Amino acid sequence: MAETTAHTAAVAGQPSFPPFQTENFASQLFWLGLTFVLLYVLMSRIALPRIGAIMAERSKRITEHVAAAQSLKEQADAAHAAGDQALAAARSRAQTLANRERERLVAADHEAGERLAARLHERLGAANSSIAAARSTAMGNVWTVAAELAPAIVQRLTGKTPTGPDVAAAMAETRKPGGSVHARS
């Protein structure tokens, strides 16, 4: 079995890795310290101030943008509120106009209904007058036809022909309210 050795130990016949050689430690520490000091000076004097200035500028721009956004938000909120007020006013005006138009239409409809009712009443009166005149004419014609047919009916039923004065008297008797027809021979 092979034995493991530390990294500092050299493999047989080969030199060890230079950073692990103890005689080089002093120069390595010197160059490490010098490099660290130079990088520290470069970073603290040049790079970090530039990065700090960039960060400060970004922070300033972000603050300005946030303030501008807040201002725009306030303006948008004000515009939204104004729009809501304008919309509410427009709805109110529209409702008022709709109510006025509805009232006007109801009044016009009411007037038209009254005119129509008056015309219908006139036509109904004229129709009733016409019906009364037609009834009167028809009743006159009925009595005339009855007077003409009565002798023929009596002759047919009784076999005797009535005289004109008998027919006229019988017709006059039936025209009276509560009158009745009497058979005459």
Break the chain into its structural domains and give their ranges: 26-175
Helix/strand/coil percentages in the chain, nearest 5: 80, 0, 20
The residues of the chain scoring below 70 in pLDDT are 1-13, 178-185
Say how far apart CA 37 and CA 41 lie, in whole Å.
6
What confidence tens digit (pLDDT) does each residue in 56-81 have? 999 999 999 999 999 999 999 999 99
Say how far apart CA 77 and CA 119 lie, in whole Å.
62
Predicted TM-score (pTM) of the model is 0.39
